[in-house]
Structures are given as C-alpha cells and as structure tokens.
Amino acid sequence: METREIEIEWNGEKAKVVLKKLTWGEKSAVIKEAMGKITFIGGEAPKIQIDPIALMEGLLLRSIKEAPFEVKREVIRNLPSELVEDLIAVAQELNPFRPIL
C-alpha cells in the first residue's frame, strides 16, 4: 500500500500525518457518498451531481492512516483551512479521480 507522510505543526510541536492510496472499494465509497441527485434527460447520459466538499471530506476520512488528531468529519471541519488544503492536495495526488464512464 502506497503511503505519503507529511510533517505538520500540531499544538506547537512537529507531528506527522500519513495518508494512503485507497483501494477501488474505498474510492468508490467516497464517490458514492458524495453523489447527489442523478437526472435522466431523454436518451442522454445521466447527469450526476457531486458535492465537492463531501467528496474531499470523504477522501480525507479514508486516506488519513495516522494523525495526531481524531480522524472524524467534525474534527477535520475544525482544522485550520491551510492544513486541510495541504492534506487534500496530497490525498488527491495519491488518489486522483479520473472519469470512469
């Protein structure tokens, strides 16, 4: 399993966060949880709405393997935005979302 370690400052000290590459099942669950309404229009391909915030939260919740904080949605929502954005960037590098249809 591929992982990436990031050094962060936590409570005034250096700490590490380890993120992992997700399995197909984990990645599929992230997408499924972020999906909203599916609209069918005539014979066209279905239009699927994805909530980008739910997608990134789900990605972090499943990608973070080790951290100095609890890996829970409420905790992630209360972390400094710069830290969350850095973690999302690494999680996306490890787990790019490519079109599958």
Per-residue model confidence as pLDDT tens digits over 4-55: 999 999 999 999 999 999 999 999 999 989 987 677 777 777 777 888 999 9
Number of structural domains in the chain: 1
User: 59 lies in which domain range?
Assistant: 3-94
Structural tokens at position 96:
């790019």
Establish if 90 belongs to a structural domain.
yes
90-98 mean pLDDT = 93
Please state, in angstroms and rounded to a whole number, the distance separating the CA atoms of residues 51 and 34.
5
Please state, in angstroms and rounded to a whole number, the distance separating the CA atoms of residues 12 and 6.
16
Establish if 100 belongs to a structural domain.
no
β-bridge pairing 47-50 and 64-66: unpaired
